[in-house]
Amino acid sequence: MTDQQVKFYQTGTLTAGNRLLDSELRTVQATIDRSNSLDSGHRACQGCGEALGARYAIDAAMRATNNQLIAANATGCLEVFTTPYPESAWRIPWIHSLFGNASAVATGIAAALKVKGENNVRVIAQGGDGGTTDIGFGCLSGMFERNDDVLYICYDNQGYMNTGVQRSSATPGGARTATTMPIGPEPGADFDKGKSVPLIAMAHNIPYVATASVDRLHDLEAKVQKAMSIRGARYLQIFVPCPLGWGFNPASTIQIARMAVESGLFPVFEAEHGEITASTKIRRKVQVEEYLKLQRRFAHVLKNPDQLQKVQNIADSNIRKFGLMSSAGGEE
């Protein structure tokens, strides 16, 4: 597939079906020969954004590599729900070692493949935001600076969901988690804390950094495909809403992901060698309040004008920083 823009003359929807597209423009997910690398029968929760994101990303990576793919997985939800012994939902060679070392394990696999001359086999590492932005950060940065031939995919659900919803350095300000309860004068997670690993990845000057969201499949698959066309260290952070941890209806995963992007709270962009090359423009701007009110983790923020303003400020800042509004100002 390509990321060619196609104009549909439909109204009222943002999800034109694949069947309206020429077959070569359809998503990998829409094809009968998709690899189903993360197979059915796993034990993810209903509406799990991470399961969706992983299936999209790995199937696209399989297509891009002609099924020559090995994955190293950090400890976390994705690992636990896919490999309850003696079952495995993976149809690709897959290894889980520890919480904080998926990128280093992937480096080792890539080194072994290189020394054996198996240059057509490619390596990905994957983990949640805890395993990426916190405990696995040292190994990740090492993998980046050595420019090891690994695509690292972070499934960002903004907290430690596997251990029962605790704060990570990817948890947004105001969010309720088990370690940032909505009590006291500053309820929820602190504002002005946390980090953007995509920006930090860019500071390593690696060949490719991108963010994607499970609500826009074409974009996500195109980014995986592009990442697999490049050698060296690459980083993809995928926004994957968590119904259980965030407190929303499992049927709303895609809607919530879309609203995060359309509000500016999760900027979708691409960068090459440290420079932003593209960002996804907001088509119909969503006020952050609309996004927040679908999630119980932000219930207290809606009653707190000061906190609500802080969330809006983050969205506005992202819109400016990443150029998320088209020159026409979007379709309000």
Partner 1 sequence: MAEAVGLCRPEVICAYPITPQTHIVEDLGVLVKGGQLTDCEFINVESEFAALSVAIGSSAAGARTYTATASQGLLFMAEAVYNASGLGLPIVMTVGNRAIGSPINIWNDQSDSMSMRDAGWIQLFAETNQQAIDVHIQAFKIAEALSMPVMVCVDGFILTHAYEQMDVPDQEQVDHFLPPFEPRQVLDPADPISIGAMVGPEAFTEVRYIAHHKQMQALKVIPQIAEQFKGIFGRDSGGLISTYRADDADTLIVTLGSVIGTISDVIDEMRDKGQKIGAVTIRSFRPFPLDEIYEALKNTRRVVVFEKCLAVGLGGIVASNVRMAHRGLTSPVYAVIGGLGGRPITRASLRELFEKAMIDDLEETTFLDLKQDVVDHEMDREEKFTRPGAIAENVLRQIGVVDVAKTT
Chain centre to alpha carbon of residue 192? 22
What is the contact surface with partner 1 in residues (CB under 8 A)?
Answer: 67-70, 72-73, 79-80, 83-86, 88, 90-98, 100-101, 104-116, 121, 138-139, 141-142, 145-146
C-alpha–C-alpha distance, residues 221 and 27, integer Å: 7
Give the contacts of 180 (CB within 8 A, at least 6 positions apart).
Answer: 167, 171, 188, 189, 190
Distance (Å, rounded) from C-alpha 268 to C-alpha 302?
25
Shortest Cβ distance from residue 57 to partner 1 (Å)?
17
| Gap between the Cα atoms of 20 and 7, Å rounded | 11
Q: In angstroms, what is the minimal distance from the CB of 86 to partner 1?
A: 7
**Which residue type is seen at 318?**
N
Give least dist CB 27 to partner 1, A: 22
List of residues 6+ apart from 201 with CB closer than 8 A: 144, 209, 235
Radius of gyration over every alpha carbon of the chain, rounded to an integer in angstroms: 19
How far is 71 from 4, CA to CA, in rounded Å? 29
Nearer to partner 1, 142 or 274 (CB): 142
| Alpha carbons 227 and 153: distance in angstroms, whole number | 10
Nearer to partner 1, 6 or 112 (CB): 112
Nearer to partner 1, 147 or 169 (CB): 147
Measured between alpha carbons, how far is 264 from 323 in angstroms, rounded to an integer?
10
Residue (17 or 84) nearer to partner 1, CB = 84
- Of 81 and 322, CB closest to partner 1: 81
Name the amino acid, one letter, at 225.
Q
Smallest distance, partner 1 to C-beta of residue 206, A? 15
Per DSSP, what are the bridge partners of residue 153?
Answer: 126, 236
Instruction: Give the nearer residue to partner 1 in terms of CB position, either 98 or 276.
Output: 98
Cβ at position 332, least distance to partner 1 in Å = 47
Smallest distance from partner 1 to CB 110, Å:
8
86 prior amide bond cis, ω within 30: yes
Q: How far is the CB of 98 from partner 1 (least distance, A)?
A: 6
**109 vs 202, which CB is nearer to partner 1?**
109
Nearest-angstrom CA–CA distance, 292 and 186: 17
